[in-house]
Structure 1
Amino acid sequence: MVETIYGCKWSLTVYQLLANGIKRPGEMVRSVEGLTTKVLNECLRKNVAFGIIERIAYNEIPPRVEYVVTPFGRKFIRILDDLDKLQKEIEFDR
């Protein structure tokens, strides 16, 4: 799971968008240059399957979908942040 998520450059971007309050897919695509709807949907699907984020569909017209980080996802993202810090320390020490 860690390899799949950490290896996907867009997952980390999605976590940052969610942390900044951007929860809707269309808004995510508009916020990040180079991010396509297809790639975003694939990334979101993987993260939902792993339980890192949750998809919330509202029964409205037009349909509205939002994504939020789950409690497990908050823990997981903290671990990824720690891995990033460790990687930077390793690179700095070389």
Structure 2
Amino acid sequence: MKTLEKNFSKKLAPSKAAQMVETIYGCKWSLTIYQLLNNGINRPGEMVRCVDGLTTKVLNQCLRKNIEFNILARVSYNEVPPRVEYEVTEFGRKFMRVLDELDTLQNEIDGHE
């Protein structure tokens, strides 16, 4: 009878991906911003007006984090007055699918308690 050799190495968590998920979920406004973008609201002023409690300062911090992770892209138009819009990147769409799966998992956990 053959014996199986143990050739497995220790599995480590994906540090950058885990940090990204933690940072985005840690920002209580990121998921709301994704919802706004999904509904065609992509200008910062309009975002602030649409959500009670969201300030320009907090919105800008949240948007900056999402841009650093390449989830969102900032599009500046050379117009007077200046116009800025935000859009989800291709990577951001992949990342949002992961967040959707986490929501599905949470719903299953909530349903089984």
Would you say same fold, with TM above 0.5?
yes
> Which of 63, 77, 91 lines up with 1:44 in the alignment?
63
Q: Which residue of 2 aligns with 1:29?
A: 48
In structure 2, the partner of 1:56 is 75
More helix by share: 1
Equivalent position SS for 2:29: helix
- For residue 72 of structure 1, the aligned residue among 56, 79, 91 is 91
Task: List structure 1 segments (4+ residues) > 6 angstroms apart after TM superposition.
Answer: none
> Structure 1: 5+ residue runs without aligned partners?
none
Question: Shift in Å at residue 69 of structure 1?
Answer: 0.1
Alignment of 1:11 with 2:40, yes or no, is no
Match of 2:14 in 1: none
Secondary structure in 2 matching 1:26: helix
CA positional deviation for 1:31: 0.3
**Residue 64 of structure 1: CA displacement?**
0.3
Query: What stretches of structure 2 of length at least 5 have no aligned partner?
Result: 1-19
- TM-score of the superposed pair, with normalisation by structure 1: 0.98
